Amino acid sequence: MSTLQSFLGGRWIGEQADKPLRSAVNGDVVAHTHAETPDFAAAVRFARERGVPALLELDFQTRAQRLKALAAYLQENKEKLYAISAHTGATRADGWIDIEGGYGTLYAYASMGRRELPSGNVVHEGPAMQLGKEGHFAGSHILVPRRGVAVHINAFNFPIWGMLEKFAPSFLAGMPCIVKPATSTSYLTEAAVRMMEESGLLPEGALQLIVGGTGDLLDHLDGQDMVTFTGSASTAAKLRAHPGLIANSVPFNAEADSLNSAILAPDVTPDDEEFGLFVREVAREMTAKAGQKCTAIRRVLVPRDRLDAVSSALRERLTRIVIGDPAAEGVKMGALASHDQVRDVQAQVDRLLETCEVVYGAADGFKPVGDKASEGAFFCPTLLLCNQPQCEGGAHDIEAFGPISTLMPYDDIEEAVALTAKGKGSLVTTLATKDPAIAAKVIPAAAAYHGRLLILDREAAKESTGHGSPLPMLKHGGPGRAGGGEELGGIRSVKHYLQRTAIQGSPTMLGAVTGEYVRGGAVIETEVHPFRRYFEDLAISESLLTHRRTVTEADIVNFGCLSGDHFYMHFDDIAARESQFGARIAHGYFVLSAAAGLFVSPAPGPVLANYGLETLRFVNPVHIGDTIQARLTCKRKIDQGKAAPDGTPQGVVVWDVQVFNQNSELVASYDILTLVAKHG
């Protein structure tokens, strides 16, 4: 059997076999951990001294491109991972969540990074705020990469996705990471890390792996570092109280197992489509990954007069689930991840039975299929009933991290919401209803106790990813028992790994720091129209002050006839005089069109396309007889490494546009987004 190795300091460490790791399917030894104790202080130094500089040689856009390429490499080699994943007890469908969900998360962050992050390694959280009366002093915020290491401590249930969901935002933020997977399934994580290293896409020191214990690792961290954790609430509490983390104010993010709920609303009857959707969702969350999901439904809240119907429907559905070796034909549910996990789950079920009774369990014909299934870590889906859910404790406190759920009857929807809150905070709750009024009542009331809320009805079910599917672009985390952190959440989660700093100074200085034009700062005016510049040649703050145009009544009439916009403020002289503006005014969109006519360079050139406006505001009205003038300034350049359909390389340029009247008053303000060609 192979001996797993840690990847630390740029090399693979571990030759001497130590703890055997057994297959969850047949009990055979899959691999051993290594006996050598790594030098964790050296691993932290390596991340800081080699990993940080290597990552910062790239910028946000380049790191996003690397993530995409890394995702593609894992996708090309995924079958090697599926073969190993089977030993964790996962079916092909379970492995899909872990493996393809893992590299899918890399794709998602790569896409979000390309769309939302700038070139360079400074994110400007604008707009800048004027702090002085005359505009010479301003303030804003920037986000920059931290100069430390992110330590990711992961759970056993998702050996690949659990690693990649944390790796993606930290890598994109320019922060190297040290990954510590749960030992029982670390053989799959090790295989994935080897694959990532072999891709040649990882900068030196960007990713390190620990197989086995963390030793004194946390003692070597400081305030520039971060720790993220996924696992039990009790372990999260111990880690959070680590003396070194407290003494050095090391940021700590936890995503803990929680007692998630599903509520069948009182408007749903057994004849409704939503009833079947609810039962299917509960059964799926009990059996997918054999119930070993931090988001799995642990408490099933149903109206008291629907209890028998839900119970019968769930029993019937669970009876049809074939359990056993994932390689055997027809198997829909595999094993728990380890034999230790079987003992842990059984112990928790025994505790639950002090306040609950069995509705469906092993006595209903549990017989896993497979040649050596008796040696595997299989556990029967178990449905319990708590007849007194108003009492504290029991299923509101005890989580059996396997295919276990508990039915709880309620008398009104307010009681249902109160029962979910007894779990003291969860990652996700599902509400099945067909009544928008119930959703509008329940969701705001429940939101204080849950990180994510899924409203399940027949319309959403056509495309819903389900109760237990965290998405990279949405928050994954919850309050209270669930840890209080945020694992995912799109660019929000990337910002967890960045330092936010307030900056103050003149607009010119703020522009120099942020890498984008700040209004009021110095501009660059040349004889060359900015639209005639190729992407590489265009400078931030390069600006054009246009000629002027006087707005006439004919302009307003012609624009109204062309657009069909005959709003009274543009055409009814009496009504306009009685309005707050005192006279007829030009259409706001005419002002935009007229401004474009002032600053556009009409001949073919490097500017390929205008694909949108942002931050549009009409600040002051434009009356008949007013004279307008525009200033166009290069605000920001983003090199996404893309090309036009004909192969022409191009970048994104954001232009700041200000339109003034004859009194130098701002009448319109907006950003234009354009694609600008690079030198071929």
Share of the chain above pLDDT 90, in %: 86
Assign residue 242 the CATH number of its domain. 3.40.605.10
Are 292 and 392 within one domain? Answer: yes
CB 239 within 8 A of CB 155: no
Confidence of residue 373 (pLDDT cuts 50, 70, 90): confident
Are 238 and 267 within one domain? Answer: no
Share of the chain above pLDDT 70, in %: 100
Amino acid at 61: Q
pLDDT at 641: 84
Are 167 and 247 within one domain? Answer: yes
Total number of domains constituting the chain: 3
Catalytic residue among 177, 274, 281, 294: 294
Are 282 and 229 within one domain? Answer: no
The answer to whether position 132 is within a domain reads yes
What does the pLDDT look like over 99-140, one tens digit per residue?
Answer: 999 999 999 999 999 999 999 999 999 899 999 988 899 999
| Residue written as token pair 């396309």 | 609
Q: What is the mean pLDDT of residues 443-462?
A: 93
Are 229 and 287 within one domain? Answer: no
DSSP 560: H
What average pLDDT does the structure give for the chain?
A: 94
CB 301 within 8 A of CB 262: yes
The answer to whether position 586 is within a domain reads yes
Are 162 and 279 within one domain? Answer: no
The answer to whether position 93 is within a domain reads yes
pLDDT at 56: 97
Are 89 and 162 within one domain? Answer: yes
| Residue written as token pair 């050598």 | 36
Q: What is the mean pLDDT of residues 364-379?
A: 90
The answer to whether position 616 is within a domain reads yes
The two most distant CA atoms of the chain are separated, in Å, by 92
Whether 202 shows a pLDDT value over 70: the answer reads yes
Are 620 and 557 within one domain? Answer: yes
**Whole-number Å distance between alpha carbons of 293 and 508:** 51
CB 392 within 8 A of CB 228: no
Residue 494: name the closest of 112, 152, 124 by CA.
112
CB 50 within 8 A of CB 251: no
The answer to whether position 508 is within a domain reads no
Q: What share of the chain is helix, strand, coil (3-state, %, to 5)?
A: 35, 25, 35
Give me the sheet containing 666-677, strands edge to edge: 524-525, 542-550, 627-643, 649-660, 666-677, 607-618
What does the pLDDT look like over 335-352, one tens digit per residue?
Answer: 999 999 999 999 999 999
The answer to whether position 423 is within a domain reads yes
Confidence of residue 368 (pLDDT cuts 50, 70, 90): very high
Assign residue 402 the CATH number of its domain. 3.40.309.10
**Whole-number Å distance between alpha carbons of 593 and 613:** 12
Domain ranges, residue 467: 260-482
Assign residue 573 the CATH number of its domain. 3.10.129.10
**Whole-number Å distance between alpha carbons of 396 and 243:** 30
Are 50 and 198 within one domain? Answer: yes
| Residue written as token pair 């759920």 | 405
**Whole-number Å distance between alpha carbons of 99 and 572:** 64
Whether 496 shows a pLDDT value over 80: the answer reads yes
> Is 255 tagged catalytic?
yes
What does the pLDDT look like over 523-536, one tens digit per residue?
Answer: 999 989 999 999 99
Amino acid at 388: Q
CB 386 within 8 A of CB 414: no
- Alpha-carbon dihedral angle through residues 294, 297, 301, 305, given to the nearest 10 degrees: -170
Are 177 and 237 within one domain? Answer: yes
Whether 362 shows a pLDDT value over 80: the answer reads yes
pLDDT at 483: 84
Alpha helices in 448-546 (DSSP H): 458-461, 491-496, 507-514
Residue 207: both structure tokens together:
């990713």
Confidence of residue 1 (pLDDT cuts 50, 70, 90): low
| C-alpha of 288 from chain center | 22
- What DSSP string describes 314-366? HHHHHHT--BB-TTSTT--B---S-HHHHHHHHHHHHHHTTT-EEEESGGGT-
Whether 565 shows a pLDDT value over 70: the answer reads yes
pLDDT at 31: 94
Residue 165: name the closest of 490, 557, 453, 616 by CA.
490
Q: Select the more confidently predicted residue: 236 or 356.
A: 356
Are 538 and 400 within one domain? Answer: no
Phi-psi region of 433 (alpha: psi -120 to 50; beta: other; left: phi over 0): beta
Q: Last residue of a domain, which of 452, 482, 512?
A: 482
Catalytic residue among 255, 285, 486, 542: 255
Q: Is 12 helix (H, G, I), strand (E, B) or coil?
A: strand
The answer to whether position 135 is within a domain reads yes
DSSP 412: S
Measured CA distances, 255 to 162, 234, 259, 646 (Å): 11, 12, 13, 46
Q: What is the pTM of this model?
A: 0.92
Whether 203 shows a pLDDT value over 80: the answer reads yes
| Residue written as token pair 């949108």 | 612
> Is 281 tagged catalytic?
no
The answer to whether position 223 is within a domain reads yes
CB 92 within 8 A of CB 82: yes
Are 246 and 307 within one domain? Answer: no
What does the pLDDT look like over 459-484, one tens digit per residue?
Answer: 999 988 888 888 888 888 888 888 88
**Whole-number Å distance between alpha carbons of 191 and 561:** 67
Q: Last residue of a domain, which of 454, 482, 510?
A: 482
Q: Last residue of a domain, which of 459, 482, 505?
A: 482
